[in-house]
Amino acid sequence: MEVKVNVKSENVEKLTFFERTYIPEILKALGFMTKHFFVNWGGMILHLIGLRKTKPIATSYYPEELRPDYSPRTRGKHVLVQNPDGSMRCVACLMCATICPAECMLIQACESEVSEEQRYPETFSIDMSRCIMCGLCVEACPKDAIRMSTSVHLWAPDGSMIDRRKMVYDRDDLLTWNPTIKYD
């Protein structure tokens, strides 16, 4: 049996005559885009020569410029915690490297001379260009040896973040948080 269905499109707006000629609508669109163009252009020039604090475009020039709306509570800086005597808490159990979803950690264990049971990391490097700041390494650590501190590390005003080889921070960098550039 054939079923006849009369569908009335109630949701479709009827266009007026002027809208159907498209010309007023096209002019409206061109005016809208022109406004955007000149507002953004003028705003960027004023920002560049220092007459305007904020940019009209939200995008930041990333490695040279920090986003202005970072929360002060952002935790984006790995710290290797030290004992009061200055030795590392890390025992190189590789829990953090195992759970790391970005596989950005490289740890080489070494036997400690102090005690038979304890190990310590000979190498402990984090590739900051791969880290996704998930904090799982902090959760996984049984010794509370790695923490995230409040800062944004993935930004260096000198633009050294442009080179990915300079973004691998090693053990001493993470202990003292004074990253030194290893390559030139």
Residue from 19, 40, 122, 172 touching other proteins (CB under 8 A): that is 40
**Does residue 181 touch other proteins according to CB under 8 A?**
no
For residues 38 and 28, give the distance between their C-alpha atoms in angstroms, rounded to a whole number.
16
Full strand arrangement of the beta sheet holding 105-111: 105-111, 119-127, 168-169
For residues 155 and 88, give the distance between their C-alpha atoms in angstroms, rounded to a whole number.
26
Give me 155's structure tokens. Answer: 């930004």
Q: CB of residue 181 vs other proteins: minimum separation in angstroms?
A: 17
Segment near other proteins (CB under 8 A), from 22-30, 77-85, 127-135, 143-151? 22-30
Cα 114 from chain centroid? Answer: 39
For residues 100 and 85, give the distance between their C-alpha atoms in angstroms, rounded to a whole number.
29
Write the interaction track for other proteins spanning residues 84-103; mark x where CB under 8 A is met and - where it is not: --------------------
For residues 104 and 92, give the distance between their C-alpha atoms in angstroms, rounded to a whole number.
15
Give me 96's structure tokens. Answer: 């953090």
Segment near other proteins (CB under 8 A), from 26-34, 86-94, 125-133, 147-155? 26-34
**Does residue 41 touch other proteins according to CB under 8 A?**
yes
Give me 75's structure tokens. Answer: 């935790």
Write the interaction track for other proteins spanning residues 45-84; mark x where CB under 8 A is met and - where it is not: ---x-------xxxx-x--xx-------------------
Residue from 15, 30, 110, 181 touching other proteins (CB under 8 A): that is 30
Binding interface with other proteins (CB under 8 A): 26, 29-30, 33-34, 36-37, 40-41, 44, 48, 56-59, 61, 64-65, 157-159
